[in-house]
């Protein structure tokens, strides 16, 4: 095998090894965030309320699968696996670009969807730690509209206060979670979009290297047959 093919092979292998690590980390963090499941009812509730961890697990699995094809194709110098990896990476890149373009052109609609996330979390809240508690802790907010949403139950959940052991009306977060959550995504939407473009560019580089490797392997084998 020529020096050029070997260089491309090692670059592609390192690239996919790093992607595999990222995929594993996404799966691990998603699993840690996912609530404990004890029965079928809990599992159904988790699927409805734990959307972010589930997305992390699915995305990590997809990245790990695609990276596996890339690593195997590079190590085995397999034309079939290298081309499969190229196609899967290209599909992932197109899907990611479509999502970025959607966020760019439909930002208002996207923010409405983010607001609906809080609405659904509020409607499905339970007395145990759930998605609403996670939003209240991370966004430092309380209730759907504001802290008065909890007035019907006569007390505030610990997640509504910085000091969870001493949650009183004078220490509770005043801001509502829907406004805080929408503002967070509005403020960070540009970071997400540009990060998506950078990642798509990196994926395109990996796609080009994979195509070059597959083409080089095919040409080398053709020459070897003569």
pLDDT tens-digit series, residues 24-58:
887 887 777 665 444 434 445 555 555 556 777 78
Q: Which of 96, 113, 103, 119 is nearest to 178 (CA)?
A: 119
Half-sphere exposure of 126 (CA within 13 A, CB side): 12
Is residue 51 included in any domain, yes or no? yes
Say what the pTM is. Answer: 0.62
| Token pair of 73 as six digits | 């194709």
Residue 84: φ, ψ to 5°: -60, -45
- Are residues 109 and 168 located together in one domain of the fold? yes
pLDDT at 6 over 80: no
Torsion of CA 123, 129, 131, 134, to 10 degrees: 130
- Are residues 51 and 110 located together in one domain of the fold? no
Is residue 85 included in any domain, yes or no? no
Is residue 190 included in any domain, yes or no? yes
Is residue 87 included in any domain, yes or no? no
The answer to whether 182 and 114 are in contact (CB under 8 A) is yes
pLDDT in tens, 96-141: 788 788 878 888 887 888 888 888 888 877 655 567 888 888 888 9
- Are residues 124 and 205 located together in one domain of the fold? yes
Taking residues 175-193, report their average pLDDT: 86
Domain around 60: 1-76
- Are residues 52 and 133 located together in one domain of the fold? no
Is residue 26 included in any domain, yes or no? yes
22, 43, 76 — which closes off a domain?
76
Is residue 88 included in any domain, yes or no? no
- Are residues 32 and 142 located together in one domain of the fold? no
Is residue 128 included in any domain, yes or no? yes
Torsion of CA 53, 56, 58, 59, to 10 degrees: 170
- Are residues 37 and 135 located together in one domain of the fold? no
């Amino acid at each position: 095998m020529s020096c050029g093919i070997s260089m491309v092979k090692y670059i592609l292998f390192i690239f996919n090894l790093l992607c595999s690590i990222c995929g594993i980390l996404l799966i691990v963090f998603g699993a840690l965030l996912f609530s404990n499941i004890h029965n079928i009812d809990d599992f159904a509730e988790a699927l409805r309320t734990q959307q972010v961890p589930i997305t992390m697990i699915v995305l990590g699995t997809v990245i790990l699968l695609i990276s596996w094809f890339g690593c195997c194709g590079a190590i085995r110098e397999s034309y079939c696996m290298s081309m499969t990896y190229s196609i899967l990476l290209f599909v992932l890149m197109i899907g990611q670009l479509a999502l970025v373009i959607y966020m760019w052109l439909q930002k208002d609609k996207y923010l409405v969807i983010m607001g609906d996330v809080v609405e659904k979390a509020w409607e499905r809240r339970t007395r145990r730690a759930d998605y609403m508690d996670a939003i209240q802790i991370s966004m430092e907010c309380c209730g759907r509209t504001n802290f008065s949403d909890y007035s019907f139950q006569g007390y505030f959940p610990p997640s509504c206060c910085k000091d969870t052991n001493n949650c009183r009306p004078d220490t509770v977060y005043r801001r509502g979670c829907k406004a805080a959550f929408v503002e967070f995504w509005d403020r960070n939407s540009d970071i997400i979009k540009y990060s998506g473009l950078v990642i798509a560019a990196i994926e395109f580089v990996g796609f080009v290297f994979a195509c070059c490797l597959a083409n080089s392997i095919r040409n080398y084998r053709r020459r070897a047959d003569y």
